[in-house]
């Protein structure tokens, strides 16, 4: 796609930051290296940022990072059919990525897992598979839920 390119991350300086031009006014950034994301609406004091940060867990607020261009980066939250990844911790020095695999929802349980968009989810988190990764090992957390096979 010509609206996407890999660029250098303004948070971690890694070379695996996916820059996506959504439209003329909005560009998103997702770093596969550090696991943080932002977009051109995420600036200090902006209505969009204030609405978003209000909904996030405290650890996400603590870990938010302002880059040289004034964009505010927050940890990513991934929730797909394979699993979930989220930042977990008590402060900026004591946190990790938590990766949780998902399992199929058993027949007869579907009603408990209604999808707000309609229908039912097919998988659910299996917290017994939770594994914690240091902040610098975001890629390993992706591998844990089957996004990448790094082994």
**pLDDT band, very low/low/confident/very high, at 151 (cuts 50, 70, 90):** low
pLDDT in tens, 109-132: 888 888 888 888 899 999 999 999
Does residue 37 sit in helix, strand or coil?
A: strand
Q: Which of 75, 101, 105, 79 minimizes the C-alpha distance to 88?
A: 75
Q: Which of 76, 89, 64, 65 minimizes the C-alpha distance to 141?
A: 76
pLDDT in tens, 60-101: 999 999 999 999 999 999 999 899 999 999 999 999 999 999
Judge residue 112's burial from the number of C-beta atoms within 10 Å of its C-beta, 0-12 exposed, 13-18 middle, 19 or more buried: exposed
Phi, psi of 46 (to 5 degrees): -70, 150
Report d(CA 110, CA 91) in Å as an integer: 37
């Amino acid at each position: 796609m010509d609206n996407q390119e890999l660029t250098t991350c303004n948070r971690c300086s890694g070379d695996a930051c996916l820059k996506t031009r959504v439209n003329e006014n909005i560009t998103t950034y997702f770093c596969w290296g550090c696991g943080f994301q932002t977009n051109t609406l995420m600036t200090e004091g902006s209505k969009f940022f204030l609405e978003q940060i209000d909904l996030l867990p405290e650890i996400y607020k603590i870990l938010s990072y302002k880059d040289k261009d004034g964009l505010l980066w927050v940890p990513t939250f991934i929730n797909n059919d394979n699993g979930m990844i989220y930042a977990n911790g008590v402060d900026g020095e004591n946190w990790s990525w938590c990766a949780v695999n998902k399992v199929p929802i058993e027949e007869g349980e579907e009603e408990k897992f209604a999808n707000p968009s309609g229908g039912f989810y097919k998988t659910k988190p299996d917290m017994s598979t939770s594994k914690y990764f240091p902040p610098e090992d975001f890629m390993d957390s992706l591998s844990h839920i089957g996004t990448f096979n790094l082994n």
